[in-house]
Amino acid sequence: MDTQRTGPRAAPRVRTNGPAREVPPSTVARLPGYLRALQGFEGVVTTSSDELADAAGVTPAQLRKDLSFLGSYGRRGVGYDVEHLSEQIGVVLGLKTQRRVVIVGIGNLGHALASYSVFAERGFAVVGLVDTDPAVVGTSVAGLVVQPSEGLADLVRTTDATIGIIATPAASAQAVCDALVGAGVVGILTFAPRALRVPENVDLRAVDVASELQILAFHDHRRAGTGDSA
């Protein structure tokens, strides 16, 4: 869980002129939200940091700061060109190349994810489904035939998938994770409620819906406990 990546101190990396520079993780995490917000302005030519920030649910200051890491894509006194800014954020996020995704664990959640149309709208292609259950293997879900676990490595290679989604029970998640890493994916999104270990050259993001509810419970509880009802 070391997010270090520097030796003596990351060399400033020969400024690649264009939209390179070092983009902080917190900024990267907000970029998809800006892209989403920009879609709400389709047809409009320009928008301002005030307007766009409002749509994205952040402050104008934060939006401008975030965008400044990507380069100078606005015009002072005018605002941002909606089309151009969308394009540039897409470039920075690497969405000009379509990424291929395999989903492991075709239970209720895996099934839902396999059928989730937003993935395609946002530039991702689900190219493979895998499960261990013999009752599920061979069935067709969202136009794909579910493969057995043994086929995972081959599947990743032949489809050239770079991202794996884990939608298995917690118990098998680490094994699946290892298999995905072994097969060569570089990014993993897991929904399994447990901590996973990946080598540092693989990127891991975890969504735990039960944990989300527990965080909500904390605030619910504090609110009730503080007794601030009139």
Partner DNA sequence: TAGATTGTTAATCGATTAACAATC
Nearest approach in angstroms of CB 224 to its own copies is 8
Which one of its own copies, DNA, none is in contact with 225 (Cβ closer than 5 to 8 A by kind)?
its own copies
User: What is the 3 state secondary structure string of 123-180?
Assistant: CEEEEEEEECCCCCCCCEECCEECEEHHHHHHHHHHHCCCEEEECCCHHHHHHHHHHH
> Among the candidate windows 41-49, 77-85, 109-117, 172-180, which touches its own copies by CB under 8 A?
109-117
Q: Is 60 in the site for DNA (CB under 7 A)?
A: yes
Query: How far is residue 182's CA from residue 192's CA, in Å, rounded to a whole number?
Result: 19
Q: Is 157 in the site for its own copies (CB under 8 A)?
A: no
Instruction: Name the packing angle between helices 25-39 and 82-93 (round to 10°).
Output: 140
Residue with tokens 């290892």: 178
x/- map, 184-213, its own copies, by CB under 8 A: --xxxx---xxxxx---x-x-x-xxxxxxx
Q: Which of 9-17's residues contact partners 24+ apart within 8 Å by CB, and which partners?
A: none
Q: Is 67 in the site for DNA (CB under 7 A)?
A: yes
Q: Is 28 in the site for its own copies (CB under 8 A)?
A: yes
Binding site for DNA (CB under 7 A): 2-3, 24-27, 48-50, 58-62, 64-65, 67-68, 72-80
